[in-house]
Amino acid sequence: MSGVEIHLGAPDDLNVNWVGQQESMRQLLAAWLVLDERDLPMNPRLVGKPGVGKTTLAWAAAQGLGQQVYIMQATVDTRPEDLIVTPVLEEQGKLRYVASPLVTAMIRGGVAILDEGNRMSEKSWASLAPLLDTRRYVESIVAGIKIKAHPLFRFVATMNDDASTFDLPEYIQSRLQPQILLDFPEREEELAILRENLPYADSEILEYVTDFLQQAHQAEERYSIRDGVNIVRYALKLRAAGESTFHERVALPLAVKTILGMEAMRYAGSK
C-alpha cells in the first residue's frame, strides 16, 4: 500500500442474537445488496432511542452475511485520524501505523459498525465522505496514502435519537441512506428478547419486567430493553444475596428503583 505498512486490528465478537423485528433486518440486508457489477452497497444508518438494539441488529445482519465485524465507538472527541490510521511512536523513534477498526474492515472486506455516529463532529464525518460515495476510499494524511475499500466491505452507522447528539450535515445525510428506524418492540417480542438474554431467569420475573417496560413505552418514557435486562439481572442478584424471605416482591421494585430511579416506580406495579 504505497510502501506503507499498516497494522490491522482483530474483529469483534459479541455473544448476541437478534430477536423479533424482522422487517428491520430485511431492510438492512437489502441496503447491503449488490445487484450488478455497476452497483454498489448502500451505507444505511440505524436510528432509534438508546438501548433498542441498533448495534445488535447490525451485528446480527453482518453475521448473517458470514463476514467479520469491526465496531468503532464514536464520541465527541473522535478525530479524523482516529477513524483512519493512527501513528504510534515505537522504540528508536520509529512510527507504527495502526489501522482503525473501520479501515481494518475496509481492507479485509468486513462489516464496519460506526456506533453512535451522531456523537461525532462534522470534521470527522468529512474525512469519511469519499468512503460513503462512489469513490469508496479514505485518505490518511498522517501516513500519506489512500486506502480503497474491498468489494465485500459493508458499512452501517447507528445513531441515538436523543438531545445529546450533533445534527449531521446534509452532504453526510445524503450518503447515509437509507435511514432505518427502530422502535420499542411489542410485548411478545420484548418478552422473547428478555428470555433470549436471560434464559436462567424465572418466567414470573420476565413477565413482570416486560409489563413494566410496556407501561413505560405507552407513557413515552425512554426506558429500553437494555434497562429491562439490567433490572432482571440485579433483581436476581439481590434475591441470591438476600435471606430466604427476600422474594421477587422485594427484589424487583428495589431493582427498578436502583437502576432507573424513584420516578420509574410509577410503572413498577406490585407483585
Topology (CATH level 3) of domain 6-182: Rossmann fold (3.40.50)
With 0-12 / 13-18 / 19 or more C-beta atoms within 10 angstroms meaning exposed / middle / buried, residue 90 is: exposed
Angle (CA) 70 78 168, round 5°: 90
- The dihedral built from the CA positions of residue 47, 52, 55 and 58, taken in this order, carries a sign that is negative
- In percent, how much of the chain has pLDDT > 90? 70
Q: Where are the domains of the chain?
A: 6-182, 187-267
pLDDT band at 164 (very low <50, low <70, confident <90, very high): low
Reduce the DSSP state of residue 182 to 3 states and report it: strand
Reduce the DSSP state of residue 147 to 3 states and report it: strand
> 41-68, pLDDT tens digit by residue?
999 999 998 888 899 999 999 988 999 9
Can you give the pLDDT at residue 245? 53
Better-scored residue on pLDDT, 116 or 242: 116
How many H-runs (helices) and E-runs (strands) does the chain carry? 10, 10
The answer to whether the beta carbons of residues 131 and 137 sit under 8 Å apart is yes
Can you give the pLDDT at residue 243? 57
Can you give the pLDDT at residue 94? 81
Q: Is the pLDDT of residue 244 over 70?
A: no
Angle (CA) 254 260 264, round 5°: 80
- The conformation of residue 185, written as its DSSP 8-state character, comes to P
User: Which ranges in 91-221 belong to alpha helices (H)?
Assistant: 101-108, 122-126, 170-173, 187-197, 203-218
Q: How far apart are CA 216 and CA 124, in angstroms?
A: 36
Q: How far apart are CA 226 and CA 164, in angstroms?
A: 19
The answer to whether the beta carbons of residues 182 and 21 sit under 8 Å apart is yes
The answer to whether the beta carbons of residues 194 and 228 sit under 8 Å apart is yes
Better-scored residue on pLDDT, 71 or 64: 71
Q: How far apart are CA 145 and CA 143, in angstroms?
A: 6
